[in-house]
Structure 1
Amino acid sequence: MSTRHRRGHLPGAPMGREYEWTALTGFLTDPAPAPAMRLATISGPRRIGKSYLLHALCEAVDGLYFTAISDEGRQRALYRFTEMIAAHARVAPDTLRPRDWREALTNALDVTSRCSPHPFLVLDDFPHLLSHSPELPQLIEELHNQPRHSEDQGARLILSGTARGGLHESLSDGRPLRGRAVIDLRLGAFDYRTSRDFWQLDDPHTALHVHSVLGGAPGYRLSTGRTSPLDGFDTWVTETLLNPGRAIYSRTEAEFLLREDPRITQHTLYYDILTAIARGATTPTKIGAALGRQRNTVTHPLDVLESTGYIHREQDLLRRRQPVITLADPVIRFNQLITLPQAAAVEQGFADEVWKASASTFNSKILGPHYESLARSWTLQHAHAVLPDGLPGPVGTTEVPDPAARTRHEVDVIALSLGERPQSPRARIALLGEVKATAARRGVSDLQRLEHIRDLLSVQGYDTSEVTLALFSLYGFHADVTELAKRRPDVLLVDLETLYGL
């Protein structure tokens, strides 16, 4: 038995994964109600750090880790699995000669039970195994239901997968493993603050720019190699996302992202939908028209793209109207807006020229909207420390009609009070925010616009008596509004340093 770690004592969590680590270590160390195998699942998109997290967990408790390989055959996979079991048991590979997956899984569970007080097995990229061994879910169910020896704690098995559809099909209604998993973790990207710490970027402007093109997937940092955004963001972009010779080249990465989900079979259709959204089509009807198709032909692909996190539907927080569809995955957004329209020039070696010509598109279509989304994230996660009533309720966007001016005012950030429901006719509003990513500093005129919107909402029946008016600025504020904010508790100024908690 390994003595590397005392029973019930595990090392600290990997950076940014404290919640997941607590859930998984609890899953491993909590005694089962009866000696039996227990099952957990972990899923998440490419480069999100699933394998890193599971490797760390196996290292902590002397667990057995096995990863499947795409396009590998059944016999080769079974042979590699047997080799891993033998190495874990410190015996010669020929000692174990399983005839099938049933014997191999039984051997693995027996070996882990002997090697660690926390018997633990990981099958990473599990959907790849199902492509040639569809009987595995049934076998795992049988092992799950098979009682172990009374002195055993009971083995723990984690199934992990990148393609959400493939893994969770095994747990869907009518399938053998339905209801068997006691833990179902969906790993997401790091938030913008954790991403800044992970990339070790002291400058918040650089951190924002990097997050706007790569998001919070930690695996991208390794893919960029020695090139650092601290050496100059423009140079870093042309040497990574606009470099056809790098694995992180945005065109290659976007195509890979689409192909990793087994539900995406008509790749050209999905690619065309993303391009239509990038060019400004924001509803199913407009997207269908841009492709010369009927609305109903793009409904299912849009649902798939939304479930994978590649697009986002922004619902008006105050009124029932058609949701606005936007690109959500930063790499896909960069590819559709920057790389793809000028791919020929990029792949002929003119990345510098393409990037310079794309400055306006980057600022208006990528950096600006991304900064707005981070302002909403800040409001949801951190604004409770400064809002009079503390924690806000739902956060989003809205459009406010102005009948007298015959126009509508877009509100970048709106937060309802805690307990209020979206689209309620007389909801209490906790915050109204204006977000600007332009180089100009913000002043009293920006605050006056918010005051006007507040008054319109009050006339329309909403409770604005305790609303905070927030200005978010990438480049700071004029002295007039700074002085005014000192005297008015209902005015909140949020610069980039505040956004990042510096």
Structure 2
Amino acid sequence: MTSLQKPDRVLSREAEWAALAQFVRHPDPSLRLGVVSGRRRVGKSFLLRAFTEATGGLYVSAVAEEAVVPARRRLAAEIARYAGIGPDLVADASWESLLSTAIELTARHGAGGAPGAFVIDELPYWIAHSPELPGLLQLLYDQSQAGQGAAGGGRVIVCGSAMSVMNELLSGTKALRGRAAIDMRLHPFDLDTTARHWGIDDPAAALGVHAILGGAPGYRRLSNAEPPRTSAELGDWAAATVLDPRQALFSGSEAEYLLREDPKFTGSALHYAIINAVANGATSPAKIGGLLEQPRSALARPVDALVSAGYLRHDTDPLWERRPVITVADPIIRFHNLITVPQRDLVETGQSREAWRRSRPTFAARVLGPHFESCARSWLRARADPALRGEAGLVTSTVVNDRKGQAKHEIDVVALDKRSGRAHISFIGEAKATLTRRGTADLDRLDRLKALLAEHGHDTTSSVLALFSTEGFRPDLVDAARRRGDVLLVDLPTLLGASDPPVVPGFTGA
């Protein structure tokens, strides 16, 4: 049995490809089911098409607002093409018969002596008019487990972008609960992969594009303008794409599209209002309720639903468990609310460059800055030397109280392992996307934060102190870091993997 090689055109996704390959090549002789989900534009279809091709399987995508009879006939045509038979032989078959036939064919005719994947993409479109489909897959699965039926050793993967529908497939008493061998949620590209995908060599330009659009690879095809080669070109690129109402990448059109892609939220003014409130800085249920003039208790369920569907992120400060942090998951929605909406008159009258000029302070402070902090945390989780995290199981942000100064200080990046209320903190970092290089005053602030955490009873004896900067570091700070040996200086090229891990001479690890 040959191995399944990931093609070069599929950037990153090594872990996802390996999980799919393991799923298909598993020795179980019975039918196996898998679920793949993720927001629009993250590359689910691209990945699954490539995987289906590699396994010699069958890929079919449901179509929005397609009636049940045309949907069945289109599936029948794909099955006939795969089997090399006339389409009339299966044209009027039932859903059960079509699914059974597709599973049987792909189980027997996959590449390299293994089953081929039978992929149903955008399954929620079919469920809208044929809600029995998950139940039919359950029936075929149960029959196969009992040694009955024709499904045999088939491998079925269902996929969708409507997260509320996909989340419910495996929940509660739903038909497929307990039957799926994989439940994979595909995430956007990280900063480094996004830069490679767009062909951007300049780290600052790559960070700007990533801050506006996030890492969803599907946006590359929607852009009619060449990617910015330098950070100085970012404004012209934004004016020609996300700030141009005539373009498909216009933030208003895309935000509307994303917010309406899930049938559970279509037309819900309250859900849209919550997302807009969070995009404008309401990070807790109390703050959201204040902006919307709604009691906090009335917002709990809609906020939870938006989190479950992937529109919002809900994190809890590990050092202050009663401090929720709610943020918008899609960067382009954040950009739309903070940049496009306040400049709507200029944008709609063709003055996009002026709109960008006026918005640059807001973009730097409320879009680029928070996004750079997020990239710093992502780098520590996935790309940095694991020794920097030590035994920490969590990388996040937090706040610490200064009891003497009666103030709260935010910490952008912290790695910790919490046990019985006391945390062992192995990493304390600040991320600054400002126009100035960082100096020793920033290191003094980190020392103060470390001391405050210790005053609260947390173990900081082996904490690494780190400064992340978009503009680099002053010589006095570099010299201080070299002398101390417990300080990391991380610049943009390092975040993009263009330079070696920034362990200064003398650094001994956490």
With the length of structure 2 as denominator, give the TM-score of the two structures.
0.90
- The residue aligned with 1:408 is 408
**1:371-407 C-alpha deviation (Å, 9 max, x unpaired):** 11111222223343563x7453322222222232232
Is the Cα contact below 8 Å between 1:473 and 1:494 reproduced in 2?
yes
- The residue aligned with 1:161 is 160
- The residue aligned with 2:507 is none
How far did residue 483 of structure 1 move? Answer: 0.8
Consecutive unaligned residues of structure 2, counting only runs of 5 or more, are 499-510
Greater mean deviation of Cα atoms: 313-322 or 337-346: 313-322
CA distance in structure 2 between the partners assigned to 1:304 and 1:260 by the alignment: 14
How far did residue 154 of structure 1 move? Answer: 1.3
How far did residue 254 of structure 1 move? Answer: 0.9
Change (3 A) 1:168 1:158: same
Return the letter of the residue paired with 2:41.
Answer: R
- The residue aligned with 1:204 is 203
CA distance in structure 2 between the partners assigned to 1:267 and 1:429 by the alignment: 42
Question: Tell me, what secondary structure is at the counterpart of 2:159?
Answer: strand
- The residue aligned with 2:241 is 240
Q: 2:431 aligns with which of 435, 447, 451?
A: 435
Is the Cα contact below 8 Å between 1:284 and 1:299 reproduced in 2?
yes
- The residue aligned with 1:324 is 325
Is the Cα contact below 8 Å between 2:415 and 2:426 reproduced in 1?
yes
Identity within the alignment, %: 44
Q: 1:69 aligns with which of 60, 63, 68?
A: 63
Return the letter of the residue paired with 2:364.
Answer: N
How far did residue 266 of structure 1 move? Answer: 4.3
Question: Tell me, what secondary structure is at the counterpart of 1:412?
Answer: strand
Greater mean deviation of Cα atoms: 13-22 or 309-318: 309-318
- The residue aligned with 2:11 is 15
How far did residue 67 of structure 1 move? Answer: 0.7
Q: 2:35 aligns with which of 26, 36, 41?
A: 41
How far did residue 133 of structure 1 move? Answer: 1.2
**1:114-147 C-alpha deviation (Å, 9 max, x unpaired):** 5334243111111111111122122222222234
Question: Tell me, what secondary structure is at the counterpart of 2:482?
Answer: helix
Is the Cα contact below 8 Å between 2:277 and 2:291 reproduced in 1?
yes
| Match status 1:469 vs 2:470 | no
Work out the number of aligned pairs and report it: 489
Consecutive unaligned residues of structure 1, counting only runs of 5 or more, are 1-6
Greater mean deviation of Cα atoms: 352-361 or 85-94: 85-94
CA distance in structure 1 between the partners assigned to 2:62 and 2:78 by the alignment: 12
Is the Cα contact below 8 Å between 1:314 and 1:397 reproduced in 2?
no
CA distance in structure 2 between the partners assigned to 1:70 and 1:460 by the alignment: 55
| Match status 1:103 vs 2:97 | yes
Return the letter of the residue paired with 2:470.
Answer: L
How far did residue 321 of structure 1 move? Answer: 3.4
CA distance in structure 1 between the partners assigned to 2:405 and 2:169 by the alignment: 56
Greater mean deviation of Cα atoms: 48-57 or 161-170: 161-170
How far did residue 111 of structure 1 move? Answer: 3.1
Return the letter of the residue paired with 2:410.
Answer: E
CA distance in structure 2 between the partners assigned to 1:466 and 1:177 by the alignment: 47
How far did residue 92 of structure 1 move? Answer: 1.9
- The residue aligned with 1:123 is 120
Question: Tell me, what secondary structure is at the counterpart of 2:489?
Answer: strand
Return the letter of the residue paired with 1:290.
Answer: L
Change (3 A) 1:405 1:289: closer
How far did residue 79 of structure 1 move? Answer: 1.0
Greater mean deviation of Cα atoms: 193-202 or 433-442: 193-202
How far did residue 347 of structure 1 move? Answer: 2.1
How far did residue 480 of structure 1 move? Answer: 0.9
CA distance in structure 2 between the partners assigned to 1:39 and 1:434 by the alignment: 44
Output aligned runs, 1:123-272, within 5 Å: 123-147=120-144, 154-230=153-229, 232-272=233-273
How far did residue 108 of structure 1 move? Answer: 2.0
CA distance in structure 2 between the partners assigned to 1:392 and 1:210 by the alignment: 31
Return the letter of the residue paired with 1:396.
Answer: T
**1:396-450 C-alpha deviation (Å, 9 max, x unpaired):** 222222232232222222222xxx227x543222122122111111111111111
Is the Cα contact below 8 Å between 1:384 and 1:390 reproduced in 2?
no
- The residue aligned with 1:478 is 474
Q: 2:72 aligns with which of 47, 61, 78?
A: 78
- The residue aligned with 1:384 is 385
Change (3 A) 1:170 1:408: closer
Is the Cα contact below 8 Å between 1:442 and 1:473 reproduced in 2?
yes
Return the letter of the residue paired with 1:409.
Answer: H
Question: Tell me, what secondary structure is at the counterpart of 1:122?
Answer: strand
CA distance in structure 2 between the partners assigned to 1:115 and 1:464 by the alignment: 58
Question: Tell me, what secondary structure is at the counterpart of 1:475?
Answer: coil
Is the Cα contact below 8 Å between 2:418 and 2:424 reproduced in 1?
no
- The residue aligned with 1:3 is none
Is the Cα contact below 8 Å between 2:225 and 2:241 reproduced in 1?
no
| Match status 1:455 vs 2:456 | no
Question: Tell me, what secondary structure is at the counterpart of 1:54?
Answer: helix
CA distance in structure 2 between the partners assigned to 1:393 and 1:181 by the alignment: 28
- The residue aligned with 1:31 is 27
How far did residue 320 of structure 1 move? Answer: 3.3
How far did residue 173 of structure 1 move? Answer: 2.2
Change (3 A) 1:391 1:214: farther
CA distance in structure 2 between the partners assigned to 1:104 and 1:401 by the alignment: 62
How far did residue 214 of structure 1 move? Answer: 0.9
Return the letter of the residue paired with 1:436.
Answer: K
How far did residue 155 of structure 1 move? Answer: 1.3
**1:19-74 C-alpha deviation (Å, 9 max, x unpaired):** 11111122222221x4x321111111101111111111121122111111111001
Change (3 A) 1:278 1:43: closer
- The residue aligned with 1:492 is 488
Greater mean deviation of Cα atoms: 124-133 or 361-370: 124-133
Is the Cα contact below 8 Å between 1:67 and 1:123 reproduced in 2?
yes
Is the Cα contact below 8 Å between 1:66 and 1:122 reproduced in 2?
yes
Change (3 A) 1:320 1:11: closer
CA distance in structure 2 between the partners assigned to 1:255 and 1:139 by the alignment: 34
